[in-house]
Amino acid sequence: MEGIFYPPFFVFCFNILSCMPLTDDYSTIAFSGTKGATNNTTGVTVVADPGTGANPYVVDKEDLGILNEDTVAQTFILRLTGGTSRILERVTLNVGDKWTNPNRIIVNPGETVTVELTTSITTNQLPWSVAYFQVIN
């Protein structure tokens, strides 16, 4: 349906099953996700720090989505902040365009993923949603 933003959660399990080796011996895999919206040029946490001593969070390919619901084109910056701070993506979306992450994102303890716009919105903040997992030993 046009105009409705569907989070990528429904595809998430298929991505996991297709990339998890059958020979690995994991006791538990914890799945999680969240959704929100941008806050103009202020960074918003999309994936939080997994915590000291925890295994990393993994955002599989296409499990993070951002939709431009503003009335003008918007550019956003997706950052990995913390120990290895860097810009993951800088993308301009036309009105109505949706972006999904083209690569797997690993979020180690001490790191977070944030999103921010390069300019303030005209009418509507950009909604985002993310699904991720963590291997629990």
pTM above 0.75, yes or no: yes
29-76 tens-digit pLDDT:
889 999 999 999 999 999 999 999 899 999 999 999 999 999 999 999
CA 72, 75, 78, 81 dihedral sign is: negative
Question: Domain locations in the chain?
Answer: 9-136
Q: Which residues pair with 77 in a beta bridge?
A: 90, 116
Report residue 71 CA to chain centroid gap. 23
CA 59/CA 104 separation, integer angstroms: 6
Give yes or no for a contact between 49 and 100, defined as CB atoms under 8 angstroms apart: no
| Class of CATH domain 9-136 | mainly beta
Asked whether residue 22 carries a pLDDT value surpassing 80, the answer given is no
The closest alpha carbon to 115, from 101, 97, 132, 135, belongs to 101
User: Distance between CA atoms of 19 and 17, rounded to whole angstroms?
Assistant: 6
Confidence at 126, pLDDT banded by 50, 70, 90 = very high
- What does the pLDDT read at residue 75? 97
pLDDT band at 27 (very low <50, low <70, confident <90, very high): low
Token pair of 13 as six digits: 């399990």
